[in-house]
Structure 1
Amino acid sequence: MMAKTKLTPVHFFSHGSTMMLGEESGSAAYWEECGDEALANNIKGVVIMGAHWDCLSDKVQVATNPSPSKSPVAYVHPSKYIDYKLNPDLSTANRCISMLRAAGFNCEGNPTFDWIHDTYLILIRMFPSGCPPTTIISMNARFDPHFHLKIGSTLRSLRAENYLLIGSGGAVHNLYRNKWSSMLRYRDSFAQEQPPDREMLEFRQAVQDVMENNSGPELRRGLTRLMKHPQFRDAHATDDHFMSALFVAGAVGDEEDRGVGGRLMAETWELTNMCNSQYTVGEWVSA
């Protein structure tokens, strides 16, 4: 029997509010742990899909700005992010464009795109000493789960070349159901004066059940079905923060990935009803 190809792990990170950039938490500690492991394994670069950049019609874009700026964030002191030097990987970006076009996507580079907190927040937390070469893939604004699965599956082969693939979105992310008063009054997004709403708890558990009890193609199907879950719309008023989970499922849902399920590694509740669950699928394997 032929040995399985060595593949990098893939992360689905819930980036939470902008305050996750400035405050310490179990999630932040896990992000840094993942970054340390990636550097110890000499990754070639990061390929990441966030939750705040989408394209109209049937288009998908890849960031090709050689000198991107950072979109400013609220409630975080600029010293936490302003001087962090971004490191766009233009050669890998162009390669991703070619791979996606070959798979039938209407894909193009975006030479003016500035990076948003959903991606640079994660990079700063993972790699505080310096940003690795990074490629950012957009979503598509139709929010078709199968479309985003296919993006992940198209780029899956990069795992065999020691690229780290990340989806940065949210397990439970409904801004309309969040309790904002403690953040606005006291700059405290972790205050939990009451339990999360039942719908948030139920969908959070559904995500964990799918991630930890499925692998390969079943993981793809399970995460896709979650968009029909009775509590999906309570947990996600808009679909954008769930698309990166589908991107991850595409990247880890091949037949070769059977037996490798997700693991809930850290979790941070914010604003009462936002659940920032951090999942990893696969693990680093010594040569």
Structure 2
Amino acid sequence: MDTPFPSLFLSHGSPMLAVQDSAAGRFLDGLGHALPRPRAIVVASAHFTAAPTHVGFAALPRTVHDFGGFPPQLYTLRYPAAGLPALAQDVARRIEAAGIPVQPAPEHGLDHGVWVPLLRMYPEADIPVVPISVDPRGDAASHIALGRALAGLRDEGVLVIGSGGFVHNLGDLDWAHPDASMPPWAAEFADWMRERLRDHDLDALAQWETRAPHARRAHPTVEHLMPLFVAVGAGGDATTMRQLHQSHEFGSLALDAFAFG
């Protein structure tokens, strides 16, 4: 294709995103139509945590309902997209060529960080999907490097997505008030991150844990932010960042989405 796909970071929020009307859901409903149709999709998900980097090789990956306490309707949903073992092999080769350890995951399915946003974007489930893991103990720099290893896929009709959460502290959510205002600490963290992303300030982003305000309150564990850095790296050397969406739920659950490259 003449113009590479951008890489995307999507905040997937609650699994209810799959079925509820919301600003984030409506955004995803339109996103698939706004992009050229990819031949395949590679997704680094916050809910596929493994080290070294694992790549899903399943030809028919199962839909994984990796959550509890939600309405029965959610557990009946399936996202029957095919895998693409040949692409998975290519992904693993690219990662290994970048000097990053990699391991095939032949039985891995599609967790809700993968299938929930894709159900809204591509409800026909007719585009092959290859999941890759993030390291729950890894850092931003290593995930940017992982994304860079995947950047060339964008020239070959592959959509690279990082699926996580822009601000993700489940213990601080106002569960009783879905429309609650965003608290100052979450807004300050989100604003700092947006500015650094706009400036393509990779040095600052790589040090987000010590430099961003309220960093560890915004992300008590890091796995939901690591897909952002994969998307940043997959955007290549281009400094272009577009904010595609901004909303929040339950106070501090920030659902930002970005395109890179």
Which TM-score applies when normalising by structure 1? 0.83
Q: How far apart, in 1, do the equivalents of 2:126 and 2:161 lie?
A: 14
**8 Å CA contact retained: 1:172, 1:204:** yes
Q: Does 1:85 align with 2:77?
A: no
Q: How far apart, in 2, do the equivalents of 1:276 and 1:128 lie?
A: 20
Question: Per-residue deviation at 1:80?
Answer: 8.2
Q: How far apart, in 1, do the equivalents of 2:214 and 2:128 lie?
A: 38
Give the corresponding residue for 1:272.
Answer: 251
Q: How far apart, in 1, do the equivalents of 2:128 and 2:59 lie?
A: 12
Give the corresponding residue for 1:185.
Answer: none
**8 Å CA contact retained: 1:118, 1:169:** yes
Give the corresponding residue for 2:26.
Answer: 29
Q: For residues 189-238 of structure 1, what are the alpha-carbon distances to aligned partners after superposition, in whole Å with 9 as ceiling and x for unaligned?
A: x332xx332211101111221223x24xx3x3342232321311111110
Give the corresponding residue for 2:93.
Answer: 98
Consecutive unaligned residues of structure 1, counting only runs of 5 or more, are: 183-189, 283-287
Question: Per-residue deviation at 1:281?
Answer: 2.5
Give the corresponding residue for 2:216.
Answer: 233
**8 Å CA contact retained: 1:27, 1:278:** no
RMSD (CA atoms): 1.9
**8 Å CA contact retained: 1:55, 1:141:** yes
Match of 1:191 among 151, 170, 179: 179
Match of 1:263 among 224, 228, 242: 242
Q: Which amino acid aligns with 1:280?
A: A
Give the corresponding residue for 2:167.
Answer: 172
Residue correspondence of structure 1 range 40-59 to structure 2 within 5 A = 41-56=36-51, 59=52
**Greater CA radius of gyration, 1 or 2?**
1
Give the corresponding residue for 2:57.
Answer: 64
Q: For residues 163-203 of structure 1, what are the alpha-carbon distances to aligned partners after superposition, in whole Å with 9 as ceiling and x for unaligned?
A: 11111111100111112245xxxxxxx332xx332211101
Q: Which amino acid aligns with 2:207?
A: R
| Number of residue pairs aligned between Structure 1 and Structure 2 | 257
Q: For residues 260-283 of structure 1, what are the alpha-carbon distances to aligned partners after superposition, in whole Å with 9 as ceiling and x for unaligned?
A: 1x222222312222111111224x
Q: For residues 51-70 of structure 1, what are the alpha-carbon distances to aligned partners after superposition, in whole Å with 9 as ceiling and x for unaligned?
A: 011114xx111011223222
Give the corresponding residue for 2:190.
Answer: 204
Consecutive unaligned residues of structure 2, counting only runs of 5 or more, are: none
Q: For residues 53-105 of structure 1, what are the alpha-carbon distances to aligned partners after superposition, in whole Å with 9 as ceiling and x for unaligned?
A: 1114xx11101122322222442453686243122121111111111112112
Question: Per-residue deviation at 1:26?
Answer: 2.0
Give the corresponding residue for 1:223.
Answer: 205
Q: How far apart, in 2, do the equivalents of 1:170 and 1:239 lie?
A: 10
Question: Per-residue deviation at 1:239?
Answer: 0.4
